[in-house]
Amino acid sequence: MAHVQKLTFPIINKSYEQPTGLFINNEFVAAKSGKTFKVTSPITEDLLCDVQQAEAEDVDIAVNAAYKAFKSWKFVNPTERARLLWKLADLVERDRDLLAQIESLDNGKSLQCAQWDLNIVINYLRSCAGFCEKKDGRLIDTGYSHMTYTKREPLGVCGAITPWNFPLMMFAWKIGPSLATGNCVVLKPASATPLSNLYACKLVKEAGIPAGVVNVIPGSGRGCGNAILNHPLVKKVAFTGSTGVGKNVMTECAKSIKKVTLELGGKSPNIVFEDCNEEEAIQNLITGIFFNGGEVCCAGSRIYIQATNPEWYNSFLQKFKAAVEKLKVGNPFEQGTYQGAQTTPDQFDEVLKYIDIGKKTSLKLLTGGNRIGNKGYFVEPTVFYDVPQDSELTQEEIFGPVAVVLPFKTVDEVIEKANDSDFGLGSGIHTEDIHKALYVSDRLEAGSVWINTYSDFHQSVPFGGYKQSGIGREMGDEAYENYTQVKAVRAKIRTPVL
């Protein structure tokens, strides 16, 4: 196969064949411009490989391939679409260890994080397979003179632009519902982390999914992403990324009236009450902010801890500090690593910038606050405490392993503080009092509320945001609404002549 490079994983010293071409019409091909871009490892900062770089001309080729495939794919029997998606899930499961290793190599996340991602990818693809035969409409009783019904039909070519923090998960979240509802896809993965998506394309072809149904074209946001947004044959765009870029996506799509879903940023509150299970709550706080190096849009980065009893508050802080300092940070291929590297040099610098702001504004540092080593993008898990509500670190998304702790005393006080944000993606509540938990959950302005858990995803549960955290939902039945349009059919019935 052309456009392949042999890569080797560190520590485990295992090699594999990495596709590096654009995946169009079930083939890995060169970019028309001949341009490539470099992919480096955040673990060592070394070059991994050169990948073909898609530009507007390549987007046009991929979209036209998808449009041609759509003409037949939309009429494929739902049972057959289900079989193909299930087969893809089986192949991902077969290669899950390799895919997790590719994800860690390219993204920097720990292997245990990458394996968690693969669980969701496999389960969600199978969930989408199950939906293929459940797309339905309704019969509307408009009297005996007419037969009236609705159909949910696919949109056509769907564009997808995905981020670098969860490459394979985002691949599944966009590909799965698109194919299940009869659409075809042109997906641009983040240029920082295209490798696992390109390897997954091998499995798309092996599964027997027809040529043109799935196309994956790495490239820049300006050269490739904007061409997807502006292409007249693209009828829907699914974007996951920052709120700032999401606003531009919405503006560009408005020019040609495309359907848009946006899964954007967050600054999620994670609330701890005095009556919580302390050990469980501390683990959930760690998961909430340090899982995946804090590069999670719904990360519980604003930690509110009840301080009605100062002695309990201080004791809980010290237990949290001790637990955080036990986390192993380093090469994701080393045994026991919980937190790997930050994915990009720009994000690494951004995290260190916010830590520096915290220090310069005299915020109290509970733990962390430093770079680890002098090679690779590693940062200590960092917690500031007794932080003001109006601090930059409280209000702005950092997207890294940095949390702020804010004390509170009453239920209504913490609800007001938790909702004091432009974002509304995730939230957490930790208490043994279910009445209190439900009272607070009803009042939080967030698309997801996790009670006595955090970032606890399930393929049947919708995920998305309030306010500037986005529009639309991923996963669950709600996701399929984003990929279909409703047709009403009304037939006049003549009175029979007897």
User: 356 lies in a domain?
Assistant: yes
Phi first, then psi, for residue 31 (nearest 5°) are -65, 145
What is the pLDDT at residue 498? 78
How high is the pLDDT of residue 185? 98
Q: Domain of 186: which CATH number?
A: 3.40.605.10
Whether residues 317 and 239 share a domain: the answer is: no
Closest-CA residue to 199 (of 340, 61, 101) = 101
Looking at the fold, whether 326 and 438 belong to one and the same domain comes out as yes
- Please state the domain count of the chain: 2
| Model pLDDT, residue 321 | 98
The closest of 455, 473, 469, 471 to 424, measured between CA atoms, is 469
Domain containing residue 199: 4-264+472-486
Q: What pLDDT shows up at residue 164?
A: 97
Q: Is the dihedral of CA 248, 252, 254, 259 positive or negative?
A: negative
In a domain, 140, yes or no: yes
- Considering the domain architecture, whether residues 312 and 452 belong to the same structural domain is answered as yes
DSSP 8-state class, residue 425: S
User: Has residue 496 been placed in a domain?
Assistant: no
My answer on whether 203 and 313 are in the same domain is no
Q: Which helix (H) or strand (E) holds 311?
A: helix 310-325
Q: Which pLDDT tens digit goes with each residue over 299-321?
A: 999 999 999 999 999 999 999 99
CATH number of the domain within which 372 lies: 3.40.309.10
217-232 residue pLDDT tens? 999 999 999 999 999 9
pLDDT in tens, 246-256: 999 999 999 99
The helix or strand, by DSSP H or E, that contains position 45, with its residue range, turns out to be none
Q: Let me know if residue 277 belongs to a domain.
A: yes
Count the Cβ atoms, other than its own, within 10 Å of residue 53.
22
Per-residue confidence at 497, pLDDT binned at 50, 70, 90?
Answer: confident
Model pLDDT for residues 122-148, shown as the tens digit of each residue: 999 999 999 999 999 999 999 999 999
Pair 348, 220 in one domain? no
217: closest CA among 373, 495, 30, 423? 30
Q: Which residues fall within 8 angstroms of residue 222, CB to CB, at 6 or more apart?
A: none
Structure tokens at 444: 């939080």
If you average pLDDT over residues 198-212, what whole number do you get? 98
Say whether both 478 and 372 belong to one domain.
Answer: no
Confidence at residue 495, expressed as pLDDT on a 0 to 100 scale: 85
Kindly report, residue by residue over 406-448, the tens digit of the pLDDT.
999 999 999 999 999 999 999 999 999 999 999 999 999 999 9
With 80 as the cut, is the pLDDT of residue 25 above it? yes
> Which residues, in sequence order, are CB contacts of 379 under 8 Å at separation 6+?
293, 329, 342, 348, 351, 352, 355, 368, 370, 371, 372, 400, 401
pLDDT tens digits for 49-85?
999 999 999 999 999 999 999 999 999 999 999 999 9
Domain match, 377 and 235 both: no
Has residue 1 got a pLDDT over 60? no
Tell me, yes or no, whether 135 and 224 share the same domain.
Answer: yes
Helix (H, G, I), strand (E, B) or coil at 299: coil
- The candidate with the shortest Cα–Cα distance to 65, out of 184, 199, 207, is 184
Sign of CA dihedral 398, 112, 469, 425: negative
What's the pLDDT score for residue 131? 96
Kindly report the average pLDDT of the chain as a whole number: 97
% pLDDT > 70, the chain: 100
Model pLDDT, residue 496: 81
Residues 210 and 318 in one domain: no
Q: How far, CA to CA in Å, does 213 sit from each of 25, 163, 194, 202?
A: 7, 21, 19, 13
Q: What pTM, to 2 d.p., does this model score?
A: 0.96
Residue 387: per-residue pLDDT: 98
Examine the pLDDT at 207 and tell me if it is beyond 60.
Answer: yes
* Domain-located, residue 201: yes
Quick one: which of 419, 66, 475 has its CA closest to 267? Answer: 419
The answer to whether position 403 is within a domain reads yes
Same domain (yes/no): 403, 364:
yes
Name every residue whose Cβ is closer than 8 Å to that of residue 491 and which is 6 or more positions away in sequence.
146, 147, 148
Binned at pLDDT 50, 70 and 90, residue 39 comes out as very high
Q: Is residue 396 part of a domain?
A: yes
The verdict on 253 and 300 lying in the same domain is no
Q: Residue 465: inside a domain, yes or no?
A: no
What CA–CA distance (Å, rounded) separates 482 from 37? Answer: 32
Average pLDDT of the residues in 185-198: 98
Residues 309 and 425 reside in one and the same domain: yes
Q: Which residues are catalytic?
A: 263
